[in-house]
Amino acid sequence: MALCSYCLEVEKVLDIDIQRLLKALDQQKGRELSDQEQRYLCLSLLGNEPMDIARLDYYDMCSYGVRKDNPDLTTAELEIAVQEELKKKASQNIRPLLSKTINSYVKNLMGVTEMPSWSNVMYFLKQNGYTMIDLAGKSKKEIKIILGAKPSDKAIVELLQILKLNNPNISVVFEIKGDEQND
């Protein structure tokens, strides 16, 4: 299975075995996840909100449509027109689609009825063996971060990106205090 760039980023930044996760979610769905579902899963794991995902999803489509309808626009004018079109498209929101698809499969995998935050999903995945195996034989240094407050999922991913940028052989473990992991 060829992995998209977002899947590769999930593996690299979050140390999550995305192929194993995709197989488990394929079983929850009853067939293979679509490319769009895989992309939405990875973007969600990477801390993107539904509005961000919609913008990424619609950007190319909007750009093509605006350019086709207005071939004489300058690059700056094109970008402004695309951003305006994106506001309209993104306001349609993809939350219902996420709820019916990816969120549903993830909840079933986790055995919960309410969709937890994506940072709690990452915690679940780490606790249940969805981590990358160090095939190079290098031992990873472990950094433990105890989450007392509730940082945004995006903030957690940004922290991981910074930590792993110059330290690819570290493994970051998040521990959630108290009952917060069940939110």
Q: What is the mean pLDDT of residues 54-72?
A: 81
Domain assignment of residue 29, given as a range = 1-183
b/e 53-74 (16+ beta carbons within 10 angstroms → b) = bbbbbbbeebbeebeeeeeeee
CA distance 146 to 9: 23
Q: What is the mean pLDDT of residues 177-181?
A: 51
pTM to 2 decimal places: 0.67
- Chain centroid, CA 127 distance in Å: 18
| 176 has a pLDDT exceeding 90 | no
Specify the number of domains making up the chain: 1
Greater model confidence, 181 or 37: 37
CA distance 92 to 112: 27
